[in-house]
Amino acid sequence: MKTNSMNAKGEQELINGILAGNEATLTSFYKQHLPFLKSYIKRQGGSYEDAEDIFQDALVLVYAKLQSNNDLINTTLGGYFRGTCKNLWRNQMRKQRKWAMADIYADDINDDHVSVTEQLFQTDRKNLFYSYFSTLKDTTRQLWELAFEGKSSQEIAEYTGYTEKYVRKKKCETKKQIIQTIVKDPLYQELAEA
C-alpha cells in the first residue's frame, strides 16, 4: 500500500511540475520519454524530427488536459503521454496517406495553373501507380475501383457480396503491398527526388 501512495505522490509531483513549467521536471520527462518515441516513430517509417514534433504536440495536449482536469487521466501520466503520442502519429500518417492517395488520383493534369513540368511529373506518378495497380487480381482491382468512386467499405461489401471486414482487410493488405512494391521501383526514387 505504501508503494501506491509513493507512486501517487510522485505522479502528482510530476503533474505539478509540468503545470508549473518546471524546467527540471520537463527536462526529466523529455529524457525519459523521447527515446521511446524516437524508436517507435523510426520503426513506423518516420524520422527523429517527426518524433520531436510529435513529442511537442503531445506535450501541449497533455498540458491542456492537465489544466482542464487531471482526474480524467486514468493511467500514469507517462502511459497517457505515450498513448497520446501514438495517436498523434497514427493520425498524421493517415492524413499523409490520404494526401498521397489523393495526389495520385487527382485529375488536375489539365489544370491551366499547373506547369508543364508538374503535369509530366503527375502523369509519371499516375503511370507508375497504374502499372502496379493493373497487376492486381480482378476482384481486388474491383474493390479498389469502387473505393476510388467514393464508396464506403459497407457499400462495397453490399455490392460485391463480401463482408465489410473482408473488404477493409483486403484494401489494407493491398495498399500496403502496392506501396511497398512502388517504393522499390527505381522510377519512384527518381520521382521522389524530383
User: Domain segments of the chain: what residues?
Assistant: 2-95, 106-193
pLDDT of the residue at 194: 52
**Average confidence (pLDDT) per 10 residues, the chain, 194 residues:** 53 83 87 89 83 87 77 72 86 63 47 50 68 81 83 87 88 79 71 57
* CB atoms inside a 10 Å sphere around CB 194: 11
The maximal CA–CA distance of the chain, rounded, in angstroms, is 72
Instruction: Indicate the pTM of the whole model.
Output: 0.47
**Structural contact between residues 19 and 67, judged by C-beta atoms closer than 8 angstroms:** yes
Whole-angstrom distance, CA of residue 183 vs CA of residue 189 = 7
106-193: same fold as 2-95? no
The rounded radius of gyration (Å) of the Cα atoms in the chain is: 23
Instruction: Write down the pLDDT at residue 111.
Output: 46
CA distance 74 to 60: 18
pLDDT of residue 1: 37
| pLDDT (0 to 100) of residue 110 | 46
What is the residue whose three cell numbers read 505515450? 82
Residue 72 is predicted with a pLDDT of: 55
Nearest to 26 by CA among 37, 13, 38: 13
CB 128 within 8 A of CB 187: yes
Task: Select from 1.10.10, 3.40.50, 2.60.40, 1.10.1740 the CATH code of 2-95.
Answer: 1.10.1740
* Alpha-carbon separation of residue 183 from 46, 78, 115, 134 (angstroms): 15, 35, 25, 16
pLDDT at 65: 81
Options 3.40.47, 1.10.4160, 1.10.10, 1.25.40; which CATH number does 106-193 get? Answer: 1.10.10
